[in-house]
Amino acid sequence: MKQFTLEEKNEVLENPFIHIHRKLDVLLNIGKLLMECGADTNRIIEEMLKAATFMGIPHDYLNIHISYTTIMVNLLHKERSITVFRKTPVHVPNMAMINAVSKLTWRAFERHYSLTTYEQLISKLDSTIPVYPDWIKGIACALGSAGLAFLYSGDMIAFIVTVICSLIGYFGRTLSVRFGCNEYVGIAIGGFAAMVSAYGFYSHIEQDSLVYVLVCCTLFMIPGVPLINSVIDTINNHILSGITRAIRTILIVGSMTLGMAMALYFSPMPAFSFVDIKPHVLSIEQIIGSFTAAASFAVLFNAPVRLLVSIGIGGVLCVFIRNLLAVEFGFSIPGATFVGAAVMSVIYVKVSTWLKTSSTIIIVPSAIALMPGILYYRFLFDILHINALSESGLLHMVQNGVTGVLTIVGIAVGVAIPNVLAQKYLKALKERRIQQHLATRHINDGQ
């Protein structure tokens, strides 16, 4: 790969058409990394445009199209037009990667990287960002699900049993995928394994709190990040991407629910879909449970270790505000959830500057403690057993579905509140920072 002198480097980064194919390739790499790692569409476009600014490509030359499985970039100037695209087949949330991409572009501005250096560093990100091993993810899944059981009024026995059942479900799903099963089949197998083990404990141990094991042992499989991003994309008018993420979420939750239903098919079905998970009192158990759930599920999203405590505290903050409003002031669950997510996200925008990280990296995992998908999967579970439901059961099913959808919307809008309220200010702040760095690009010329 060609190396440049200082004069050539500056010319390359200021003339958009010099090495344009390499520049477009860098943009595609950035878009691919961000989409596959769980960034919302707005963030992907912003990061690609920021990189384009660094490489000297005016924004009005670019047309960027983002779908869930394809990143497409068109460069159009007068009669010259170039269109390139890249597929994004794998989707695994990775907050560390999202953070690394943003930091690398800012570092390129600050240190005046050449195109070659920037290109090489972007291409190496996929292999240099560490990920947690499967056994740590398994433990995190178990602790996160158990934390939710504790949050919903389970006791220590329910906590321990949920850890065991969730571990069984996680490794059942992981092994099935490694043996070549379809992803959704693997999720169904994981849900089946977790629910069979949970029902075994529930049937043989006389402990009322074990019903929370049935409720929570599979919650680690609910795709919280795609669920939130689907709403964020939709309200930002990225309809195609939002709908695709929503459909993928339905497939995942549906597969999990099918596995759970199969596990209980030949057994007297316990009425765990009617278990009350609404907060009625404020307790220390809720603080412990929400912290454990947020910090543990953040491991699944590959959040950096140094941020796990902050994410756990964010989970406590939004859950405590939700429960306080619901218990003391009579708020509905969707309304209280929205306020909790909004207050946490506004505070954590400032906290992210102290932690020197992107706000998304700590806000989205913190909001997962609100568990956006639990009512959704209970709704699907009731649909599978609709012929056995009474009139009150049908009403409860509809209530779960409506409340679940409104809760998801509340979380997503709450998470997006900082951008909604201060979009112009944040955009102007970023633009000012970029211009300051560009103004120093020639500071070492001639030295």
CA-closest candidate to residue 211, choices 167, 272, 150: 272
pLDDT digit string, tens, across residues 93-118:
999 999 999 999 999 999 889 888 99
pLDDT, the chain, mean: 87
R_g of the chain computed on alpha carbons: 24
Q: Which one-letter DSSP state was computed for residue 55?
A: T
- CA dist 42 and 234 (Å) reads 11
Residue type, 161: V
Torsion, Cα 349 354 355 361, to 10 degrees, reads 10
Q: How far apart are CA 259 and CA 331, in angstroms?
A: 34
Residue pLDDT, tens place only, 182-225: 999 999 999 999 999 998 998 888 888 888 888 889 889 988 88
Domain edges within the chain: 6-131, 134-427
Burial class (CB in 10 A: 0-12, 13-18, 19+), 237: exposed
Say whether pLDDT at 290 is over 90.
yes
The residue type at 321:
I
The CA-atom distances, in angstroms, between 124 and each of 38, 100, 117, 130, 145 are 19, 11, 11, 12, 34
Q: How far apart are CA 295 and CA 2, in angstroms?
A: 44
Q: Which SS3 state, helix, strand or coil, does residue 332 take?
A: coil
Residues 370, 356 contacting (CB under 8 angstroms)? no
What is the reported pTM? 0.88
Strands 80-87 and 70-77 come out as: antiparallel
147 vs 303: CA distance, rounded Å: 18
Please name the residue that has the structure tokens 């005016």. 58
Q: Which helix (H) or strand (E) holds 73?
A: strand 70-77
Residue 71 is inside which H or E element, if any? strand 70-77
**What average pLDDT score do residues 353-375 get?**
86
Strand, coil or helix: 389: coil
Which one-letter amino acid corresponds to residue 182? N
| pLDDT at residue number 108 | 93
DSSP code for 444? T
Q: For residue 238, is pLDDT > 70?
A: yes
Question: Which residues pair with residue 71 across a beta bridge?
Answer: 66, 86
385 compared with 363, residue with greater pLDDT: 363
Say if residue 345's pLDDT is above 60. yes
Residues 6+ apart with CB under 8 A from 444: 6, 112
Which residue do the tokens 């190396």 mark? 3
- What confidence score (pLDDT) does residue 447 get? 45
Residues 350 and 346: their CA atoms lie apart, in Å, by 7
pLDDT digits (tens, 9 = 90+) for 391-430: 887 888 888 888 888 888 899 889 988 877 777 777 888 8
User: Do the beta carbons of residue 368 and residue 293 sit within 8 Å?
Assistant: yes
